[in-house]
């Protein structure tokens, strides 16, 4: 989630351990775990206070801002970002504005986040770098995806993917664009995004995830359906840290859980925690029983791709 000298919010630490420095998304997210989809976000602020009177004070202020954001003190990071935004100029002001938008996003203050991020994303913020613009667009995609506004989310993800530099970053944005199109029932558009993303992806886990979306048929194990994003995230983290998820030499774990966004009959977002893909009801049932043996509620559902 780093870009150049600033931050990208999003789909967070998901592939960080494997891929190193090509992209921004790392591995706190266990997939919209997203988005996630969301967890703590690494902030790398290398640009400070071009217009502040005291460079040392500015560096300290931005250092505190970084610490507050990384440790999840989003109200404090928002307050400090707003203060720095008022007393900074140039790229430092753009940085502060962007982090204010990220903090507002984390606090689920959507309109405030949009107010900060949209001018950056569409190139109307002075001193914002192209990388900052593409990252702001991706964050807006996450915001609208979280809120179930999938058409708008897809547009922002595509805009971000068109401008991003890192190949895995582009692929991650294409993945989310495709998932948003799937929620709209636009399978052809979704498949196009997945194919482009698969061509860009270099990280093996990311490639596997995109291929999963392309191939998805059969059954999966569902660990819960939640109206609250945080509750779904907690379940993802709990499962992925359990023995049921462990894979590797001598283990028979089910793999990492993922978070899918759906909608209920009234159109409200519904967050589904799922693990695995199985070609038969029997294999999916066996997997569900394994998850249940580890203390998780689990049921078999048909994949609707």
Average pLDDT over residues 273-292: 84
Using one digit for the tens of pLDDT, what is the confidence trace for 187-201? 788 889 999 999 999
Which of the residue ranges 17-21, 49-53, 183-187 would you say has the lowest mean pLDDT?
A: 17-21
Q: Do residues 178 and 151 touch, judged by C-beta distance below 8 A? A: no
Residues of the chain with CATH 1.25.40.10: 2-208
Using one digit for the tens of pLDDT, what is the confidence trace for 158-184? 999 999 988 999 999 999 999 888 777
Tokens 């925690």 — which residue? 273
Widest Cα–Cα separation across the chain: 68
Residue range 219-302, CATH number: 3.30.70.1070
Residue range 2-208, CATH number: 1.25.40.10
> Of 129 and 140, which is predicted with more confidence?
140
Q: Above 50 in pLDDT, residue 19?
A: no
Round the average pLDDT of the chain to a whole number and report it. Answer: 78
Residues of the chain with CATH 3.30.70.1070: 219-302
Task: Give the pLDDT of residue 186.
Answer: 77
Q: Above 60 in pLDDT, residue 246?
A: yes
Q: Do residues 157 and 174 touch, judged by C-beta distance below 8 A? A: yes
Average pLDDT over residues 205-220: 82
């Amino acid at each position: 989630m780093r870009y150049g000298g600033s931050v990208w919010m999003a789909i967070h630490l998901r592939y960080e351990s494997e891929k190193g420095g090509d992209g921004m998304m790392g591995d706190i997210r266990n997939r919209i775990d997203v988005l996630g989809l969301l967890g703590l976000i690494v902030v790398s602020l290398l640009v400070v206070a071009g217009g502040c009177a005291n460079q040392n004070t500015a560096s300290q202020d931005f250092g505190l801002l970084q610490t507050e954001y990384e440790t999840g003190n989003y109200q404090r990071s928002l307050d400090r970002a707003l203060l720095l935004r008022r007393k900074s100029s140039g790229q430092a002001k753009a940085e502060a504005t962007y982090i204010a938008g990220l903090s507002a996003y984390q606090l689920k203050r959507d309109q405030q986040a949009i107010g900060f991020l949209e001018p950056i994303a569409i190139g109307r913020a002075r001193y914002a770098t192209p990388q900052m613009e593409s990252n702001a667009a991706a964050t807006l995609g996450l915001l609208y995806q979280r809120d179930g506004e999938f058409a708008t989310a897809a547009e922002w993800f595509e805009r971000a993917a068109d401008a991003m530099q890192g190949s895995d970053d582009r692929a991650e944005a294409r993945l989310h664009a495709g998932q948003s199109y799937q929620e709209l029932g636009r399978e052809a558009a979704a498949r196009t995004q997945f194919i482009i993303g698969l061509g860009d992806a270099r990280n093996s886990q990311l490639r596997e995830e995109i291929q999963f979306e392309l191939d998805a048929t059969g059954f999966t194990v569902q660990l819960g359906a939640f109206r609250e994003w945080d509750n779904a995230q907690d379940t993802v983290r709990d499962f992925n840290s359990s023995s049921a998820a462990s894979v590797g030499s001598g283990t028979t774990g089910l793999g990492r859980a993922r978070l899918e966004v759906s909608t209920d009959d009234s159109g409200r977002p519904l967050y589904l925690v799922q693990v695995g893909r199985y070609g038969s009801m029997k294999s999916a049932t066996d997997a569900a029983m394994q998850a249940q043996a580890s203390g998780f509620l689990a049921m078999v559902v048909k994949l609707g791709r």
